[in-house]
Amino acid sequence: MERIYIGPTGSGKTSILMEKYLEIGEREKTPERCLVLVKNATSVTDWRSKTNLQHMGPLQIYTYFGFIQNDIREYWPWIEANLQGDLRTIEPVFMNVETSHYLMSKLVEEARGREGAFASINATAQQIGVQLIDNLNHGSMNRLSLAEMQRRLIHWARGDADKITVYHDSIRVMKQFRERCLETRALDYSLITDLYNQHLLSDARYQKELCARYRYLIVDNLEKTIPSAQDLILQIMQNAAETYLSFNPEGGFTLFFGGNPQLAEDTFFPICELVELDTSYTSSGTARKLARDIADKVFHGKPLLKTDFIMADIQKDLRGDMLLQVAAEVVQLLEIGVQPGEIALIAPLIDKVMDFTLDRYFEKHGYSIANLTRNKRLLDEPFAQALITLAILVNPEWRFELNFSSLSQTLSLILDYDPIRSALVAEEIFKNQMNLPDLDQIQLRPRLGFDNSDKYDHFRDWILEKQTTELEMEHFFQIVFGELLAPLKPSEKDILACRQIINSITKFKKVMHRFGVLSEAKLGENFIEMVLNGTLAAEVLFRPPSNDKQIILATPYTFLFSPYIKNVRYLFWLDIASENWFQSTTKELTNPYFFSRQWREDEEWTDELDQRLRKEQLINYLQSLLSKCSDGLYLANSYLSSRGWEQEGKLLDWLQNDDYSMEIEVNTDDPSTTWTD
């Protein structure tokens, strides 16, 4: 039996699959014979926590990447036998994202210095490195060789000599990175995927093992699976007694992040029983109709007629006025009993002006916002920042430029100083070329006071002692946490931040030893350099607190990909005339479409194709957003952006109703609103 449950968000697909899983486990008494593939680590945890069987065996619940990484480790001797090189290992080293970005950026720097590569690209080595890693990832997801990737990149160049040169540079550096990974058996995401598909999934012995291991298969969110994951699913399905899949027809927004819903539909729909789920109890039939109507207007020019689901169309000249009016509307909803977590404000770009304006307004009225787009780098966390700052103070020969506020905040944290005293001491340390001065020599003791001076003296002695002690960086971090930070009673978030730093240096060190590119003495310095450069993996994401008591502020991407938000009652779409709603996913060196299985040999990259793909991406976002909303939608826009520039994005025209116009006016002396048609 092969069955696909089809329905939008909230139609009960996951609940049905969980029931099937429990039914199989109780019936067969062997849950380990059933493989469950889910979309992310949060879903893995959710499934495991909700599984309670009488006969519990090992639970085979994974993400696709978690599954193949586990089998790479399990069947490594089979893979090793097919690899060239003198190095033979019991198991490979798995690279994290930050290390792969760092190593790729270093290869880019070398290529620039040695060969003048990437001469026509203004991006930094780190930015180029990220794009090249993205290329490798997209290639592996679609099972493309480097040669095929090169052919497609050259095709994209359309005869432009400068672009062709840069693409050749890109392939050369990517090839160098891949060769070094293979030589050292240090595997990044793309190589793990390639090795699995080349040396396991294509191996008859492994296929037989899969057949013997799994008799049942369950896949949640099939539309979010990458093409190589769909190949694995198809392989297991061929011999499974029962297969149950779920598919969200409104999940197309994942296309440019690896998922391929159209490929999944073309591959699995013809060979499975299709079960359309009742959508009468999902978010809102009116919301789904509005989503279809918007798509019809964008792609077919059909009129967008009046709908009660659009509660208001807020139009103002100045962006600040628009934000204040939006905030006033939100407060009105809260005052009639709507919970803060049932309201989401969605904008294509959340800048500091928006964040500050809304935050201050809601705080004044006794509410707060949960900004899902606040990228918390490790350096933004006080305890993690202290680890990095102290490492630099103990190693002044590294000559890193410390941020003044970072040093001041670390002193305030460790010495329990007020901001003024922390700034005074930080200023003296900067004057002394990052060495901690003697307070008597700079005559600062009277200004700090006896107790504070005593704290500083002990801290200075600690720094001087560590400067004469040879410590590996992860050991140093552990000492800092144990001796200086733990007594400060850190919160769970503080402990997680420190743990992330220590885990990162441990993994970084393991890969660097394999690559053999750094001496032991340089490992710590280069790790700190990586963190200070702000690589993508220098960001740490903590599980956010419950948003029930906070108004949600997010971009479409962060809202849809947040595993902690199921649905909301009211949506506000802000800045609907902004061009940021209509951005392309292509960059100088990467184009996900050209690495997809949808790409056709005879298809040229034209403005028309680019515009069509942008429209498809936008419509997928809007439909997915509306599928999470039950009660109503507010539109908001300002004629001028926060920089005073006129906004002329196409979304504004598409969302304007063709049979009426609506505006809300707010009396600044009275928070109540009046409607005018």
pLDDT single digits (tens) 457-485: 999 999 999 999 888 888 999 999 999 99
pLDDT for res 463? 94
- CATH class (in words) of the domain with range 2-75+200-276: alpha beta
Report d(CA 308, CA 311) in Å as an integer: 6
Q: And the tokens for 673?
A: 């609103």
Q: Report residue 476 as tokens.
A: 């140093």
> Is the pLDDT assigned to residue 620 strictly greater than 60?
yes
- According to DSSP, residue 56 is labeled -
pLDDT value, residue 162: 92
What mean pLDDT comes out for the span 37-57? Answer: 79
* Structure confidence at residue 535 (pLDDT): 56
What per-residue confidence (pLDDT) applies to 485? 93
Question: With bands split at pLDDT 50, 70 and 90, how would you rate the model's confidence at 669?
Answer: very low
**pLDDT tens digits, 251-287:** 665 655 678 888 999 999 999 999 998 765 556 778 8
**Per the structure block, which two tokens stand in for 653?**
């025209």
Rounded mean pLDDT, 94-111: 91
When the pLDDT of each residue in the chain is averaged and rounded to a whole number, the result is 86
**CA–CA separation, 119 vs 124, rounded Å?**
11
Give the per-residue pLDDT at 666.
41
Please say if the pLDDT value at position 337 is more than 50: yes
- pLDDT tens profile 536-570: 333 444 444 444 689 999 998 888 877 678 789 99
pLDDT for residue 133: 95
Judge contact between 560 and 618, C-beta under 8 A: no
The residues, any chain, with a CB within 8 Å of residue 405's CB and separated by 6 or more, are none
Q: In the prediction, which pLDDT does 542 show?
A: 43
Average pLDDT over residues 487-498: 86
Amino acid 643: pLDDT:
74
Encode 634-656: b = buried (16+ Cβ within 10 Å), e = exposed: bbbbbebbbeeeebebbbbebbb
Q: What is the model's pLDDT at position 256?
A: 55
State yes or no: pLDDT of 323 exceeds 50: yes
Considering the chain, what percentage of its residues have pLDDT values greater than 90? 48
In this model, does residue 353 exceed pLDDT 80? Answer: yes
More confident residue, 390 or 665: 390
Instruction: Name the pLDDT band for 218 (thresholds 50, 70, 90).
Output: very high
- Cα Rg, the chain, nearest whole Å: 28
In the chain, where are the structural domains located?
Answer: 2-75+200-276, 93-191, 286-374+545-676, 378-538
- DSSP letters spanning 205-274: HHHHHHHHH-SEEEES-GGG--HHHHHHHHHHHTT-SEEEEEE-TT-GGGGGGT--HHHHHHHHGGGSEE
For the chain, give the percent of residues with pLDDT over 70: 90
Instruction: Specify whether the backbone of 47 is left (phi greater than 0), alpha (psi in -120 to 50) or beta.
Output: alpha
Whether 167 has a pLDDT exceeding 90, the answer reads: yes
What is the DSSP secondary structure assignment for residue 481, as one 8-state letter?
A: I
**Domain at 286-374+545-676: CATH code:** 3.40.50.300
Summarised one tens digit per residue, pLDDT across range 31-45 is 789 999 998 888 888
Percent helix, percent strand, percent coil in the chain, to nearest 5: 55, 10, 30
User: Can you tell me the mean pLDDT for 244-250?
Assistant: 90
Say yes or no: do domains 2-75+200-276 and 286-374+545-676 share a fold: yes
pLDDT band for position 520 (cuts 50, 70, 90): low
**Under 8 Å between Cβ of 675 and 361:** no
Backbone torsions φ then ψ of 581, nearest 5 degrees: -70, -20
pLDDT for position 558: 84
The 10s digit of each residue's pLDDT in 621-646 is 888 888 888 899 999 998 887 777 77
pLDDT value of residue 90: 85
pLDDT at position 70 is 95
Of the candidates 236, 276, 319, the residue with the CA atom closest to the CA atom of residue 7: 276
d(CA 196, CA 75): 10
Q: Which pLDDT band, with edges at 50, 70 and 90, does 517 fall under?
A: low
